[in-house]
Amino acid sequence: MRTIVLLTCSNIFMTFAWYGHLKHFRDKPLFLAILVSWGIAFFEYTLQVPANRFGYGQFTLPQLKVMQEIITMCVFAGFAYWYMQQSLRWDFLWAGFCLVAAAYFMFRGNPSISSSLMAKHHETPSAARTVERR
């Protein structure tokens, strides 16, 4: 749960860093928009790096990535609607269904790497990932 919360908070910062300048900095110099975006991105990284560290081992690397993409789409939809005043289209829903399908395929029958599994076999995380490949 900690990983999901951190990834969600990280994504909020990331979305503002990537797209927030389009609302309030369009008439400002580009270098200023870049500096503000970098400042916001700093906070994104202070949440994203720990999220992936805590999550890796509980989830596989592909599972973390798919989870990140689902969170990104949800955060972006909210940002586009509430902050940027964009109307949501059916395409958001269809894209969401595709991400749900991606999560299904990434998580089905492929249990997460657990610390006990790695400890039991005295494997490094990279060796455990190699064994799980189909």
What tens digit of pLDDT does each residue of 51-103 get? 999 999 999 999 999 899 899 989 999 999 999 999 988 988 898 889 889 88
Residues 8-59: tens digit of each pLDDT? 999 999 999 999 999 999 999 999 999 999 999 999 999 999 999 999 999 9
User: According to the model, what pLDDT value does residue 109 have?
Assistant: 77
How far is the C-alpha of 114 from the C-alpha of 56, rounded, in Å?
9
pLDDT at 5: 97
Which of 18, 134, 5, 2 is closest to 76 using CA atoms? 18
What does pTM read for this prediction? 0.75
